[in-house]
Amino acid sequence: MSQKINNPEEYQAPLTEHLAELRKRLINSLVALVVGAIAVFMKVEFFFLFFQEPLKRAFPKMKLVALTPTESFFTALKISLLVGFVLASPIVFYQVWKFIEPALYEEEKKLVVPFVFFTTLFFTLGVAFAFFGVLPLAIKFLITYGYEYLQVEAMISVSSYISFLIRLLLAFGLAFELPVILALLSRLGLVSPEGLSKFRPYFVVGAFTFAALITPPDIISQIFLALPLVIFYEISIYASKILYPRSLRSQRG
């Protein structure tokens, strides 16, 4: 027989508190993003020229075009939001931590500084790897393929180029968070080294599927995203053996 609830308000209070805390953290993150985006928008021409560098290195004479009167303005907004998110990422990751912190033990709460530092670091590394490594190769491959095999002269709109760039950078930035997330889950005892090892074959398939879905439709971007994911997963297994709590390890025998 189910236990009778004498005072439903006692059960509703925790949910209300969680929702209020979630709202607070979302607002703080949004404010940080907006402030960062406004700051970037004031100097958006610098970032726009910077984002064209991979294209200019591959095809120095190619120029982007605007197909509609509003395209340039909305492209500037996209750039501002992207760079603003990168600038605000330490605050955003800190807000994520503060939301889950009440559910942790005092010893686990000490992980806040490493968590914010490494999430920011790996996100930045992912963005940098995509921008300086993957993006030039992807652009060169895609445009050259269209010209040499399909005899298609490339005329790229500014909106499509920036959207392509943003999608690629965010995909790599978020994907590079994998080792940080798995390390944190291992330290909290939520995943074990044995569990990660058993899940390896499924993860490899999932990594290539994820890369095919989230990156632009070219094989170079997909391979360059899937391979780091697989490598990071292997590293996470070894890291989990070190970070997994000894008390839980002894209980598992």
What angle, rounded to 10 degrees, do the helices at 158-175 and 112-129 form?
140
Q: Which of 58, 53, 52, 61 is nearest to 158 (CA)?
A: 52
- Give the model's pLDDT for residue 76: 93
- Give the model's pLDDT for residue 151: 67
Least confident range from 29-43, 108-122, 140-154: namely 140-154
Q: Which whole number is the average pLDDT over 233-248?
A: 82
Contact yes or no for 183/236 (Cβ under 8 A): yes
- Give the model's pLDDT for residue 2: 40
- pLDDT higher than 90, residue 34: yes
* pTM reported for the whole predicted model: 0.75
Q: Which of 83, 74, 73 is nearest to 46 (CA)?
A: 83
Q: Which whole number is the average pLDDT over 37-47?
A: 93
What is d(CA 240, CA 244) in angstroms, rounded to the nearest whole number?
5
Highest-confidence segment of 31-35, 121-125, 138-142, 187-191: 31-35
Contact yes or no for 92/29 (Cβ under 8 A): yes
The string of pLDDT tens digits covering residues 133-176 is 888 888 888 788 766 666 677 788 999 999 888 888 888 888 88
- pLDDT higher than 70, residue 7: no
Contact yes or no for 186/243 (Cβ under 8 A): yes
The string of pLDDT tens digits covering residues 73-109 is 999 999 999 899 889 988 988 898 888 887 777 777 7
- pLDDT higher than 80, residue 127: yes
The string of pLDDT tens digits covering residues 48-70 is 999 998 888 888 888 888 888 89
- pLDDT higher than 90, residue 215: no
pLDDT band at 11, cuts 50/70/90?
very low
Residue 40: CA count within 13 A, CB half-sphere: 23
- Give the model's pLDDT for residue 216: 65
Q: What is the mean pLDDT of the chain?
A: 83
- pLDDT higher than 50, residue 3: no
